[in-house]
Amino acid sequence: MNNPASGNAALAARDLRHVWHPCTQMHDHESVPMLPIVRGEGAWLVDADGRRYLDGISSWWTNLFGHANPRLAAALADQAQRLEHVIFAGFTHPPAIELAEALVRITPPGLDKVFFADNGSAAIEVALKMSFHYWLNRGHGEKTRFIALTGSYHGETLGALSVSDVALYRKTYAPLLLTPFLAPSPDAYEGEPGESPEQTAKRRLGELRALLERHAHETCAVIVEPLVQCAGGMRMYHPSYLAGLRALCDEFAVHFIADEIAVGFGRTGTLFACEQAAVSPDFMCLSKGLTAGFMPLSVVLTTDDVYAAFYAEYRTGKAFLHSHSYTGNPLACRVALETLAIFRDEPVLERNRGLAARLARRLAPLRDHPHVADVRQCGMIAAVELVADKAMRRPYPATERRGLRVYLHGLQHGALLRPLGNVVYFMPPYVVTEQDIDLLVDTAIAGIERAVTD
Ligand SMILES: Cc1ncc(COP(=O)(O)O)c(C=O)c1O
């Protein structure tokens, strides 16, 4: 028997008295359960009543190797007994040094300098400020603008939100934000009828070129989520867009910022998404999978050329100024190192290929569903686009909250699925089994059936 004082109901009631949760209309919790999780085991979460949920979204796309992973937990415990934190200005420590060395080794060529921060949005702030400041230090103070893609999401601090284009997050705060130039996303779902993803990418590159022709002189950088625009609905595009983007950035002297916060560390099938186009960006932002979901940490990798623009006598005032108290936290760096060691020691990407194939096979029948307009996949990310009208690709109105019905169905059946509006997606930890994948897909299919039935 569960102790009612420490069960779901008691903990949820205490939570709702004082805690304000992210990405939530708190009023929803008058009908939607608040779930107290007390334990994690591999891909599974366990609530205070002992019910289990398969984490189909890797707890906001962070978890790679399972909850409470013993190897990561041991590294964390060991580091906690050596050094938990130290100011990162004027001081350094072995986990940060080793992590920087390892990241430079495994990321695309040319990314030789590592700046630490502590969450994804902070990494975006760093990249935007660094790009602007680079051009300023090089005598181009007229470059103050950024180009972002329609449908993009880069975080919710004011700078990161400025270069994001998901109305749900941006609209309310728009009066506070910088205004980017928006280039049309190469999103294959929005391609012209009969157009291949590669043709869509090519057409969109033409539109980006036109934007750069008008605005490159005042533009610092183009920022993109390589291959998959995640929060924008798991919209996917052809890698040739990234190769074309690299060439355009070189031609027009603007930086290329690759936000691999969500897609890095194997999500798209390669360790980094940029590898699929064989490109090196000028800035690469990493977080989430960097610590396999254990600790908040982020990094911005950049080039020697960018670094050199800041490297000068103190009196020149060219230093990059951006600091967070927990910059380069040793606990987080140590866990990140252990995460990379798992990639080194185990055939992670190879195993994922088998899991991704299983996911694809199990999702395929949904293509014929009368309310499914698209089933798409890129490595370990798969998404199902629900629509009111398949022929016209007319979405369900957001107010109908069809995705919420899938979410609630999932919880009742032991699966954590958290659709983005009308998009039901799968981004499981890499430790799921084929049976886990079957459970996720079967639960999603039944949930979709319930969600589209009025
Ligand atoms: C592509 C991308 N960039 C940036 C962020 C922001 O990261 P954080 O939530 O750690 O601030 C996210 C978060 O989902 C993301 O998906």
Protein residue with its CA nearest to atom 4 in ligand 1: 154
CB atoms within 10 A of CB 171: 8
CA 288 to ligand 1: nearest atom: 10
Q: How far apart are CA 62 and CA 417, in angstroms?
A: 15
- Quick check: 163 and 145 in contact, CB under 8 A? no
- The SS3 of residue 349 is helix
CA of 392 to the centre of ligand 1 (A): 32
Protein residue with its CA nearest to atom 5 in ligand 1: 155
Confidence (pLDDT) at 4: 81
Half-sphere exposure of 44 (CA within 13 A, CB side): 13
Confidence (pLDDT) at 3: 78
CA of 81 to the centre of ligand 1 (A): 30
State which of 124, 128, 154, 326 you would mutate to test the pocket of ligand 1, scoring each by most atoms of that ligand within 8 A of its C-beta. Answer: 154
CA 287 to ligand 1: nearest atom: 10
Contacts of 138 (CB under 8 A, 6+ apart): 309
- Quick check: 225 and 61 in contact, CB under 8 A? no
What is the distance in angstroms between the CA of the first residue and the CA of the last residue of the chain? 38
Pocket, ligand 1, Cβ cutoff 6 A: 119-121, 124, 153-155, 225, 230-231, 259, 261-262, 287
Nearest in space to 151 (alpha carbons), one of 244, 225, 207: 225
Q: Find how far residue 358's CA is from the centre of its chain.
A: 23
- Quick check: 222 and 256 in contact, CB under 8 A? yes
CA 155 to ligand 1: nearest atom: 6
> In sequence order, which ranges of 21-93 are alpha helices (DSSP H)?
58-61, 70-80
CA 60 to ligand 1: nearest atom: 14
The single residue listed with the structure tokens 């031609």 is 251
Confidence (pLDDT) at 5: 87
- DSSP code at position 329: -
State which of 61, 149, 227, 287 you would mutate to test the pocket of ligand 1, scoring each by most atoms of that ligand within 8 A of its C-beta. Answer: 287
Pairing of the two strands 181-183 and 423-426: unpaired
Q: How far apart are CA 60 and CA 119, in angstroms?
A: 13
Return the amino acid letter for 278.
Answer: A
User: Mean pLDDT per 10-residue run, the chain (454 residues)?
Assistant: 84 98 97 97 98 98 98 98 98 98 98 98 98 98 98 98 97 98 98 97 98 98 99 98 99 99 98 98 99 98 98 97 97 98 98 98 98 98 98 96 97 98 98 98 98 91
Protein residue with its CA nearest to atom 13 in ligand 1: 155
Query: Tokens at residue 87, please?
Result: 């100011």
- Quick check: 255 and 221 in contact, CB under 8 A? yes
Protein residue with its CA nearest to atom 8 in ligand 1: 120
Protein residue with its CA nearest to atom 7 in ligand 1: 120
Confidence (pLDDT) at 2: 62
